[in-house]
């Protein structure tokens, strides 16, 4: 179980770091690219970022599923069942936001810079930024709670 908790925390915290950089640095700089080269820039951004975040998101999702399956083991160590459930709900919200909001906005921006689409992207991306930040707290808490649990001698 410790391998699962650590892998989950690494993937989640990695995504939290990536999304904060995207939110605070990268997305705001989109408006500075210039109209002539923006469509190509956006398409390049999407093709380069997708393997990076896609891999981490899939690892995170797999770990979240395994944590849901292991809720009994977690509960035996005093970890409330709501913790993995809350993490899964946050992840579902992140994925829904990604595919319902951010992916279509990136598609629109891939046709050329549009101020309203850019503003919507920056604004709606806060859903993922807050979600991954909260998931990072939960992931760290899971590790600490596991280490302090009833089978702490296993450390």
pLDDT digits (tens, 9 = 90+) for 46-92: 999 999 999 999 999 999 999 999 999 999 999 999 999 999 999 99
DSSP codes joined into one string, the chain: -HHHHHHHHHHHHHHHHHHHHIIIIIHHHGGGS-HHHHHHHHHHHHHHHHHHHHHHHHHHHHHHHHHHHTHHHHHHTT--THHHHHHHHHHHHHHHHIIIIIHHHHHHHTTS--HHHHHHHHHHHHHHHHHHHHHHHHHHHHHHHHHTSTTGGG-
Q: Report pLDDT digits (tens) over 98-119.
A: 999 999 999 999 999 999 999 9
Compute the mean pLDDT over every residue in the chain, rounded to the nearest whole number. Answer: 93
**What is the pTM (predicted TM-score) of this model?**
0.91
Which tops the pLDDT comparison, 34 or 97? 97
Percent of the chain with pLDDT over 70: 95
């Amino acid at each position: 179980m410790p391998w699962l908790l650590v892998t989950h925390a690494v993937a989640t915290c990695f995504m939290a770091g990536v999304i904060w950089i995207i939110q605070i640095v990268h997305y705001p700089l989109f408006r500075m690219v210039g109209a002539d080269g923006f469509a190509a820039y956006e398409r390049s951004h999407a093709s380069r970022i997708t393997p990076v975040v896609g891999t981490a998101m899939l690892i995170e999702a797999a770990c979240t599923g395994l944590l849901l399956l292991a809720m009994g083991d977690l509960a035996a160590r005093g970890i409330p069942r709501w913790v993995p459930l809350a993490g899964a709900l946050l992840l579902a919200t992140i994925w829904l936001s990604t595919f319902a909001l951010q992916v279509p906005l990136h598609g629109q921006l891939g046709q050329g810079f549009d101020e309203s689409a850019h503003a919507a992207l920056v604004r709606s991306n806060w859903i993922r930024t807050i979600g991954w930040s909260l998931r990072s707290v939960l992931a760290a808490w899971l590790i600490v709670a596991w280490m302090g649990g009833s089978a702490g001698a296993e450390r």
